[in-house]
Amino acid sequence: MVDNGDTNYTRPEVVVYERSKTLYKHGDFEEAIKISEEALENLSEFMYDRDIWLKRIIALANCRLKNYKISIKYFKEVLETKNECYIQREIANVYNNLNEIDLALKYSAESALNPTLNSIDQKIKTYALLERLLFKKGLKVKAKLHAELIYQIRKNDKRNIDEEEIERLKNLNIDTNKNIAHETLEKKLKQFWKLLSLKPHYSSIESIIRKVYDDFYEYNEFNIPCDLKDFTFKQNVPNYEKKSVQQFYLLKYMYSYAFEYMTMFKKILNQREFGNNIRITSFGCGNMIDYWALIRALEENDKKEISINYTGVDSIDWNYKPKARENDTINFKHIDVKKYLNEEKYLDSEIFIFPKSLGEFSGDIEHFCKNFKEKIKDNTNIYVLISYIKQDESNNKEFYNDLSDKIKDAITENKYDFVDEKVNEGNKRHIEKYFNEKYPNKIKDYLMHFKSNCKCLYKENEKCKLEYTHPQITQKYIQYKIMSFNKK
Ligand SMILES: C[S@@+](CC[C@H](N)C(=O)[O-])C[C@H]1O[C@@H](n2cnc3c(N)ncnc32)[C@H](O)[C@@H]1O
């Protein structure tokens, strides 16, 4: 237990702190919590941060009592004042108990990067936790690197390493005769820790995909014929009202779209400084994966402190929206875009995005442009991001260029000058190489064989319009345009 500062046993908070420590050591966790909470409530003055240390006892004791959520709440309060590697490790341990492995990894990586991680003992504890978590997550190569790092640190410090441990390392194919400077291994892992520490407090794409898959799998076990027989973008659009249509759509496209939107946002974040808040409107937002992508882009550009004011407009209230960050404001407008533009007094965003949606309201484009130019507020610069649905062989570029030209003309008619546009038309490279998110193999296989395994009656008589079921995992279908404008 940490104790900073002088110990003056006559001060009431010192008396409570010492007693609370003793109770904790003797396993009387309830009593330790009780007296610590009472002190925090009743005492007005705490010297040497004793209030913080009392909170840590409450956090530790709640963890021992398996009250993990309360424990995390207190640990996070402690971390606000005491940015110490061991507090981050303690939080990681609690998340591990909750089986929230991504969050456990995030905090243990933060611990590994924390400048207070100086001593050999602290290093071994943090790296060992990372090793355990990485094995649990199935990232064996990275886990082994941590095992090797710990081994080299202990060997270099002439610590005893028993036979059993040597045997374990050999089974992991680690060469125990080799001498590697641990600084070299630490340097090698630093970038990986940075990526892990970015792991968000909100869902990862992988975790959303897994959740969608669980529901989709269950649905397909019991619903024959299924709602997917009409799933096509050819003459009409899929009926997104149906939950199973949303599920199939997300399993097939979300991974690629999240990557595409993130790439677009990263481009504009590199081009321009935004203040401490970004205002964005998404027309046809679906499950708001563009909001998720913006957060990821901010994180990867070292700007995660910028908050987001996001307005998503969609006539359908999709399931599987990502969790919002604490300081962000999310407005979901469950309304037709046309009606939204009629009712809204003005549009006060600096980014307007059409995430694979513009084609779907192309019939109303004249009305859209008229309202857009009238209601758009004066901002120094604005960006319009259009992501197109790209179909296999058909070249729909002209159709989209025509729509984007109409929007450009409307914006430049009185308030703004057109600055430039950036276009991306995809390539065959695998997304996984450039994205810190994985598409789970099991789900990929399931989708690939979805039609041949399907028990649906429509399969035989060719009434099923569902075509390629494989998920989009290359950049082949990426097609977007970023237009930027400055105030006249
Ligand atoms: C292809 S989906 C794209 C969804 C999501 N943005 C994404 O990236 O996955 C098109 C979305 O536009 C919405 N949409 C189409 N026409 C609309 C309209 N007139 N008003 C509001 N939303 C509309 C649909 O409900 C659907 O959610």
Cα of 421 to ligand 1 centre, how many Å?
A: 23
Residue whose CA is at the smallest distance from ligand 1 atom 24:
284
Residue type, 135: F
**DSSP string across 268-310:** HHHH----SEEEEEEET-TTTHHHHHHHHHHHHTT-TTSEEEE
Q: Which atom of ligand 1 approaches the CA of 389 most closely? A: 1
Ligand 1: does its nearest atom lie under 6 Å from the Cβ of 336? yes
> Which of 282-296, 310-324, 447-461 is the least confident region?
447-461
Mean pLDDT of the chain: 88
Higher pLDDT, 2 or 449: 449
Higher pLDDT, 85 or 368: 85
- Is residue 414 pLDDT above 80, yes or no? no
Residue whose CA is at the smallest distance from ligand 1 atom 14:
284
Q: Tokens for 7?
A: 């110990």
Give me the pLDDT at residue 263, please.
96
Q: Cα Rg for the chain, rounded, in angstroms?
A: 27
Q: Is 466 within 8 Å of 229 (Cβ atoms)? A: yes
pLDDT, one tens digit per residue, over 149-185 is 999 999 999 999 999 999 999 999 999 999 999 899 9
- How many Å apart are CA 19 and CA 488, to the nearest integer? 69
Which positions ≥6 away from 474 have C-beta within 8 Å?
Answer: 256, 427, 428, 429, 430, 431
Q: Is 137 within 8 Å of 101 (Cβ atoms)? A: yes
pLDDT, one tens digit per residue, over 198-245 is 655 567 898 899 889 888 887 776 665 577 777 777 777 888 998 889
> Which of 193-207, 262-276, 315-329 is the least confident region?
193-207
Helix, strand, coil tally for the chain in percent (to 5): 55, 10, 35
- How many Å apart are CA 271 and CA 273, to the nearest integer? 7
Mean pLDDT over 403-411 rounds to 93
**DSSP string across 419-467:** EEEEEE---S-BGGGG-S----HHHHHHHHTHHHH---GGGTTT-----
- How many Å apart are CA 149 and CA 112, to the nearest integer? 12
Assign 172 to helix, strand or coil: coil
> Which of 268-277, 322-331, 476-485 is the least confident region?
322-331
- Domain 205-487 listed as CATH 3.40.50.150: yes
Residue whose CA is at the smallest distance from ligand 1 atom 10:
357
Q: Tokens for 3?
A: 């104790």
Task: Tell me which of 239, 263, 315, 332 to substitute to probe ligand 1's pocket, judged by most ligand atoms within 8 Å of the beta carbon.
Answer: 315
Q: What is the pTM of this model?
A: 0.65
- Is residue 259 pLDDT above 80, yes or no? yes
Ligand 1: does its nearest atom lie under 6 Å from the Cβ of 286? yes
Residue whose CA is at the smallest distance from ligand 1 atom 27:
286
- Is residue 394 pLDDT above 60, yes or no? no
Residue whose CA is at the smallest distance from ligand 1 atom 9:
286
- Domain 12-198 listed as CATH 1.25.40.10: yes
Ligand 1: does its nearest atom lie under 6 Å from the Cβ of 242? no
Give me the pLDDT at residue 459, please.
59
Ligand 1: does its nearest atom lie under 6 Å from the Cβ of 314? yes
Give me the pLDDT at residue 4, please.
46
Q: Which atom of ligand 1 approaches the CA of 282 most closely? A: 6
Give me the pLDDT at residue 300, please.
84
Q: Tokens for 352?
A: 């307007």
Ligand 1: does its nearest atom lie under 6 Å from the Cβ of 356? yes
Which positions ≥6 away from 8 have C-beta within 8 Å?
Answer: 14, 47
> Which of 265-279, 382-396, 447-461 is the least confident region?
447-461
pLDDT, one tens digit per residue, over 55-67 is 999 999 999 999 9
Residue whose CA is at the smallest distance from ligand 1 atom 22:
314
Mean pLDDT over 107-125 rounds to 96
Q: Which atom of ligand 1 approaches the CA of 233 most closely? A: 1
Ligand 1: does its nearest atom lie under 6 Å from the Cβ of 60? no
**DSSP string across 228-284:** GGG--SSSS---TTSHHHHHHHIIIIIHHHHHHHHHHHHHHHHH----SEEEEEEET
Name the residue with tokens 């050819």.
Answer: 234
Exposure of 66 by Cβ count < 10 A (0-12 exposed, 13-18 middle, 19+ buried)?
exposed
Give me the pLDDT at residue 2, please.
46
Q: Tokens for 121?
A: 């003992």
Q: Which helix (DSSP H) or strand (DSSP E) does residue 339 occupy?
A: helix 337-343
Domain ranges within the chain, ordered by starting residue: 12-198, 205-487
Cα of 323 to ligand 1 centre, how many Å?
A: 20
Give me the pLDDT at residue 457, please.
59
Helices 29-42, 50-64: crossing angle, 10 deg rounding: 150
% of the chain exceeding 70 in pLDDT: 93
* H helix count then E strand count, the chain: 19, 7
Ligand 1: does its nearest atom lie under 6 Å from the Cβ of 355? yes
Strands 480-487 and 381-387: antiparallel
**Confidence band, pLDDT 50/70/90 cuts, at residue 196:** confident
Residue type, 448: M
Mean pLDDT over 256-279 rounds to 94
* Residues linked to residue 280 through DSSP beta bridges, in sequence order: 310, 351
Q: Is the peptide bond before 440 cis (omega within 30 degrees of 0)?
A: no
Name the residue with tokens 């905090």.
Answer: 107
- How many Å apart are CA 83 and CA 60, to the nearest integer? 17
Alpha-carbon dihedral 134, 138, 139, 143, rounded to 10 degrees: 40
C-alpha dist (Å) from residue 54 to 115, 182, 477: 24, 36, 55
Q: Is 24 within 8 Å of 57 (Cβ atoms)? A: yes
> Which of 340-344, 422-426, 436-440 is the least confident region?
422-426
